[in-house]
């Protein structure tokens, strides 16, 4: 529900604006302020999506309010309301950062168009900021040739709708690759739905993926939306797809071939538009030979194959990964930031990392917590890493 504040000292104008907005969209929640001072207080105490602000008001005029909003709440779009004598001031307000201005008496169609555009623009900005934050969270760390090759592939495939199979050992960062592809794609404002195929019992996987209707089986007490349907317009990430049952594989194959699914217990087709990214730590070609994986599904999924290297294959990235983890862990655990001695880093590079990047992060977190000094030493690594 979009929250809109109307700052206007004329009650009749406020009443008209509120009536028009509520009739336009019952989902708008309208707040009112009788002057600039009241408006500033309402802005401070409510999380707003849009502000309509008169220019000429007692106590604090609209330009002063706009200046406050630009400095403190720049993410909120502002539409200025101007009298005939305020046109020059209204134009100046646009230069200062207002989204638009509406003359009195308001042209209601123009007002509604401006409100829709401002809210759409605000949602775009919010989505962009969320995606930027996520992009930083899912940043792939490292400068080795192996990881640079992965980045090049991500850049090439992200803007396409090609199906992608990500392969690599557990803990190597397959999920990071999938998230980066989605965030770099044109679908980045749509859902990214992750399914861990290994964690769902085989008898429930079809219901999880495709949903079910009430009464489809004993515990189906109501209709359920599946992951494919939830991901419509976005991306579905089928993690550890090598552990999926053959029965579920055949249903996934149909979804890939026809862009259609059926909820369990239903005969009605549902059209879905999803991008498929799959990942596995298994050698699917070998699983095909063992009759554990469908060859036709493999060829559908593996339009593009991305192989994520193990940490042992890119040990030159360990120093930069360590620094990245030290910063993140100090923030997450509210610890004093600790540096690490060069010999300690060299020792960590010598170890065999069977758990890959995930295991390295766990070790760095342990060292950050247990090391007494502000610099992690070689002795600390030997003592606390639990590595040989």
Positive or negative, the CA dihedral 188, 280, 142, 319 is positive
Do 216 and 101 reside in the same domain of the chain? no
Residue 138 has what DSSP assignment? Answer: T
Last residue of a domain, one of 286, 307, 328: 307
Last residue of a domain, one of 133, 159, 181: 133
Mean pLDDT calculated for residue range 109-125: 78
Do 221 and 178 reside in the same domain of the chain? yes
Do 284 and 164 reside in the same domain of the chain? yes
| Nearest to 164, CA basis, from 230, 231, 237, 271 | 237
Q: Of the ranges 26-35, 167-176, 190-199, 226-235, which is most confident?
A: 167-176
Mean pLDDT calculated for residue range 93-122: 82
- Report the half-sphere exposure of 158 (CA within 13 A, side-chain side): 17
CATH code where residue 317 lies:
1.10.8.60
Other Cβ atoms less than 10 A from the Cβ of 303: the count is 14
- Answer with the residue of higher pLDDT: 84 or 91: 91
Confidence of residue 131 (pLDDT cuts 50, 70, 90): low
Region class of 215: left (phi > 0), else alpha (psi between -120 and 50), else beta: left
Query: Does the pLDDT at position 52 exceed 60?
Result: yes
What's the domain range around 372?
Answer: 312-384
For residue 255, give Cα distances in angstroms to 139, 186, 198, 203.
Answer: 30, 21, 20, 19
The CA distance from 169 to 175, in Å, is 11
Do 147 and 57 reside in the same domain of the chain? no
CATH code where residue 171 lies:
3.40.50.300
Cα pseudo-dihedral 12, 13, 16, 18, rounded to 10: -110
Confidence of residue 206 (pLDDT cuts 50, 70, 90): confident
Do 58 and 175 reside in the same domain of the chain? no
Give how many domains the chain has, as a whole number: 3
Other Cβ atoms less than 10 A from the Cβ of 239: the count is 21
Residue 137, pLDDT score: 64
User: Long-range contacts for 210-215 (Cβ within 8 Å, ≥24 apart)?
Assistant: 210/251, 210/255, 210/261, 210/262, 210/263, 210/264, 211/261, 211/263, 211/264, 212/263, 212/264, 212/265, 212/266, 213/263, 213/264, 213/265, 213/266, 215/265
Question: What is the percent of the chain where pLDDT is above 70?
Answer: 95
Do 17 and 82 reside in the same domain of the chain? yes
């Amino acid at each position: 529900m979009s929250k809109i504040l109307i700052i206007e000292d004329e009650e009749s104008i406020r009443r008209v604006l509120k009536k028009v907005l509520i009739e336009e969209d019952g989902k708008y929640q309208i707040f009112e302020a009788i002057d600039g001072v009241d408006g500033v207080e309402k802005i401070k105490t409510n999380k707003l999506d849009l502000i309509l602000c008169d220019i000429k008001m007692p106590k604090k005029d609209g330009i002063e309010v706009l200046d406050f909003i630009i400095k403190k709440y720049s993410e909120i779009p502002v539409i200025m309301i101007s009298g005939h004598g305020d046109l020059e001031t209204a134009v100046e307000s646009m230069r200062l950062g207002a989204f638009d201005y509406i003359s009195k008496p308001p042209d209601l169609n123009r007002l509604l168009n401006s409100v829709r555009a401002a809210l759409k623009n605000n949602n775009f900005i919010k989505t962009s900021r969320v995606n930027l934050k996520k992009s930083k969270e899912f940043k792939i760390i490292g400068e080795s040739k192996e990881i640079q090759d992965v980045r090049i592939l991500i850049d090439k495939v992200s803007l396409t709708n090609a199906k992608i199979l990500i392969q690599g050992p557990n803990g190597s960062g397959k999920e990071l690759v999938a998230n980066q592809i989605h965030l770099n794609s044109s679908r980045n404002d749509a859902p990214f739905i992750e399914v861990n195929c290994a964690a769902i019992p085989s008898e429930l996987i079809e219901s999880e993926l495709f949903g079910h209707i009430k009464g489809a089986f004993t515990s189906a007490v109501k209709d359920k939306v599946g992951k494919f349907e939830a991901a419509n317009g976005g991306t579905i990430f089928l993690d550890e797809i090598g552990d999926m049952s053959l029965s579920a594989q055949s249903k996934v194959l149909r979804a890939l071939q026809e862009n259609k699914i059926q909820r369990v217990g239903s005969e009605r087709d549902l059209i879905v538009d999803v991008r498929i990214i799959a990942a596995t730590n298994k050698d699917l070609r070998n699983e095909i030979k063992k009759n554990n994986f469908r060859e036709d599904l493999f060829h559908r999924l593996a339009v593009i194959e991305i192989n994520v290297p193990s940490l042992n294959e890119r040990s030159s990235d360990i120093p930069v990964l360590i620094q990245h983890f030290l910063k993140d862990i100090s923030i997450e655990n509210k610890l004093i930031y600790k540096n690490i001695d060069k010999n300690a880093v060299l020792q960590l590079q010598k170890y065999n990392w069977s758990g890959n990047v995930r295991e390295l992060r766990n070790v760095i977190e342990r060292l950050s917590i247990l090391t007494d000094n502000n610099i992690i030493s070689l002795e600390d690594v030997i003592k606390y890493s639990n590595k040989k």
